[in-house]
Structure 1
Amino acid sequence: MNTAQSKKILTHGLGVVTGKVAFYIEHPPRIEPYNNLMQVSALASGEIEHINAHCGNGWRKIFNVFAKFLFAARLPDHDITNYSTWQSYRDSALLQASSQEALLFSTPDFSAKTYDWHIIAGRTYAKSLLRDQVFTNNLTWLDDEFAVDYNLRLIISPFLDYRQLSNIKINKLVEIIRQG
Structure 2
Amino acid sequence: MPSWAGTVGLGCADARLRVHIGNRPALAPFDQPDGVMALTNGEIAAIGQACGNGWRKVFSVYAKLVHQLPQSLFEAGQGRQRWQQYRDAQLLQPGSETALLYSPPVAQPAEPCWQILMGRGYGSEVAAQAGIPLTWLDGQFAVSPNHGVILCPYFDYRQLTNARIERLVALMMQGETPRQPS
Tell me the number of residue pairs that the alignment of Structure 1 and Structure 2 aligns: 171
For structure 1, the residue ranges without an aligned partner over 5 or more in a row are 1-7
Aligned to 2:137: 142
For residues 9 and 124 of structure 1, do their structure 2 counterparts lie closer, same or farther at Cα, with a shift above 3 Å needed? farther
Mark the structure with the bigger radius of gyration.
1
Q: Secondary structure of 1:19's match?
A: coil
Shift of 1:97: 0.5
Bigger fraction of residues in helix = 1
Shift of 1:115: 5.3
Which runs of at least 4 in structure 1 moved beyond 6 Å after TM superposition?
none
Cα deviation, 1:28-56, whole Å, max 9, x if unaligned, reads 11110011123101000110111011000
- Residues in 1 aligned to 2:168 and 2:146: alpha-carbon distance in whole angstroms: 16
For structure 2, the residue ranges without an aligned partner over 5 or more in a row are 176-182
| Structure 1 residue corresponding to 2:165, chosen from 145, 170, 174 | 170
Shift of 1:95: 0.4
% identical equivalent positions: 39
Q: Secondary structure of 1:108's match?
A: coil
2:69 is the counterpart of 1:73: yes
Cα deviation, 1:65-106, whole Å, max 9, x if unaligned, reads 000000111352422221001001011100000201100001
CA RMSD of aligned residues (A): 1.6
Q: Secondary structure of 1:134's match?
A: coil
Within-5 A mapping of 1:91-110: 91-110=88-107
Aligned to 1:5: none
Within-5 A mapping of 1:30-179: 30-74=26-70, 76-114=73-111, 116-136=113-133, 139-179=134-174
Instruction: Output the TM-score relative to the length of structure 1.
Output: 0.89
Q: Secondary structure of 1:99's match?
A: coil
- Residues in 1 aligned to 2:44 and 2:112: alpha-carbon distance in whole angstroms: 22
